[in-house]
Amino acid sequence: MMTGLPHTILIIFITILTSIAAWQHRNIMNRLIFNISAIKHGQYDRFLTHGFIHNDGVHLFFNMFTLYFFGRSIEWFFRDYLNGLGFVLFYCSAVIVAAIPGYLHNRSLNSYRSLGASGAVNAVLFSAILFDPWGMIYIYFIPIPAIIFGTIYLCYSMHAIHSGHSPLIDHRAHIAGAVYGFLFPLLLAPSLGAAFFYKFIDTPLF
């Protein structure tokens, strides 16, 4: 498996630069952020641009840290598509798709705003789970199988939506990104479904 691939690094680099620029210049932040009112006035590019700015350094760090480790582990697969730009298409489309549920749910709230790459990063994470369900994810240095972490994460996100917990976090984007990230490679290569199944039942836990 190829690692350290350039498109993941390129996306991280662009996101860091854009986020810093948005912190320093409020007009950039206001132009790129996901804004229901602006979208209703035809600024549909915000479905994409909001994924390249972040609220603060912690928000940016955790998203880019996750993207770095999981993006480079799956980028090899997407290189066979769109003249080598398949991963870029996958990531950017994940930013857009992850924003749709939040837009539909909040479309009557003209003041609603959102930003960050969490939905797309979740798409990358769950694509990695598709390829290696029993790979280890380290949470505070504690190893957790990816498929178990993903299941717990989705359950928490769904609970948060229904309970209203953490209302400032777009849990709908997290779920949409996760589902999209798992399904998108399957649309490109349906045989991955069987490969995932055999890896899943070949559990190292028992």
Helices vs strands, H then E, count in the chain? 10, 4
Question: Does residue 1 belong to any structural domain of this protein?
Answer: no
CATH number at residue 114: 1.20.1540.10
> What is the signed CA dihedral for 128, 134, 140, 142, rounded to 10 degrees?
-170
Question: Does residue 206 belong to any structural domain of this protein?
Answer: no
User: pTM to 2 decimals?
Assistant: 0.91
Instruction: Tell me the angle at which helices 118-131 and 191-201 cross, rounded to the nearest 10 degrees.
Output: 70
Name every residue whose Cβ is closer than 8 Å to that of residue 157 and which is 6 or more positions away in sequence: 171, 174, 175, 178
Report the number of distinct structural domains present in the chain: 1
Alpha-carbon distance of 45 to 30, in angstroms, equals 13
Sign of the C-alpha dihedral, residues 204, 184, 58, 8? positive
* Enclosing domain of residue 172: 6-201
pLDDT by 10s per residue, the chain, length 206: 444 457 999 999 999 999 999 999 999 999 999 999 999 999 999 999 999 999 999 999 999 999 999 999 999 999 888 888 999 999 999 999 999 999 999 999 998 999 999 999 999 999 999 999 999 988 878 889 999 999 999 999 998 888 866 666 788 999 999 999 999 999 999 999 999 999 999 876 65
Amino acid letter at 82? L
